[in-house]
Copies of this chain bind each other. A is one copy, B any other.
Amino acid sequence: MSVTTLHRPAHRDALTHLDDAFQRGDLVTVFGRCTVEYDGRASSSLGPGDRLLLLKPDGSALVHTDEGRTPVNWQPPGCDHFASVRDGRLRVRSVRRSPEELLDVRFERVHHLAAYDVTDPDELDLQGSEADLKEHILATPSRIEPGFEPLATERETDAGPMDIFGEDDAGRPVVVELKRRRVGPDAVGQLRRYVDALEREFGSGREIRGVLVAPSVTDRAKSLLDEEGLEFVALDPTTGRPPADATDAG
């Protein structure tokens, strides 16, 4: 049976059902009036209300309200779920070690409980990531500029690995930092750290170029690039070509 449910169960019956579902490795949903306490990296408290609790066999827990993509409370994968009945309430605790974190959901009333036998053989295939943009550039390096030659990807520096390291038609070293979407000041700082690291590594005489590649750039980020002597090239992550609205400066 791929789905089993209980409507308005007594807490004892909900507990039995829940423990059986955990045993089977089902994904469980519990809907009811509850309070939620969290303590760990931060701590939070949520008064009584109707919410949907999802408990996954991988140890994740999600508390969803009627609003928001983000759960109001949660526990990441790897936790242990424990159900019990205390003070006439169904209580679900989800415990994490390292960092020590506890999620405690207490149901004053369970409206509905469902256990789903989930089997998902397929892996998500996603297009338009930064990795795709990198592939486009390696396939057609001239999109950066004529004569640009990639020499390495993920090349290590004291500031961490660069997205692409290469050289221009004059043989000057070039650091390329890729972003799949419009960039702000943080991306400029990241590029700057790589360029600084290479300047230390190559010695003070050598000029290192830094190129930020993204579909577009904010005004503040553009100013920062200019101040730092860094460059910008507008490319779309899905096509690897300049975006439709791209001027030279993006």
Interface residues in A26-56 (C-beta closer than 8 Å to B): 27, 29, 31, 41-52, 54, 56
**Copies held by the complex:** 2
Taking a contact as CB atoms under 8 Å apart, the answer to whether A122 and B46 are in contact is yes
Cβ contact within 8 Å between A2 and B50: yes
- In the bound complex, how far is the Cα of B193 from the Cα of A112, in angstroms? 52
Contacts of A168 in B (CB 8 A): none
User: What is the 8 Å Cβ interface bit string for chain A, positions 46-88, against chain B (1 contact, 0 not)?
Assistant: 1111111010111010101111110111111100000000000
Q: Which residue of B lies closest to A185 (CB)?
A: B193
Docked pose: A20 CA to B123 CA in angstroms = 33
The segment from A113-121, A137-145, A206-214, A239-247 that touches chain B is: A113-121
Q: Given A27-B64, A27-B66, are A159 and B220 neighbors across the interface (CB < 8 Å)?
A: yes
- Check if A93 is an interface residue, CB within 8 A of chain B: no
Q: Are A190's CB and B181's CB within 8 A?
A: no
What chain B residues lie within 8 Å of A5 (beta carbons)? 5, 7, 112, 114
Min CB distance A85 to B, Å, is 21
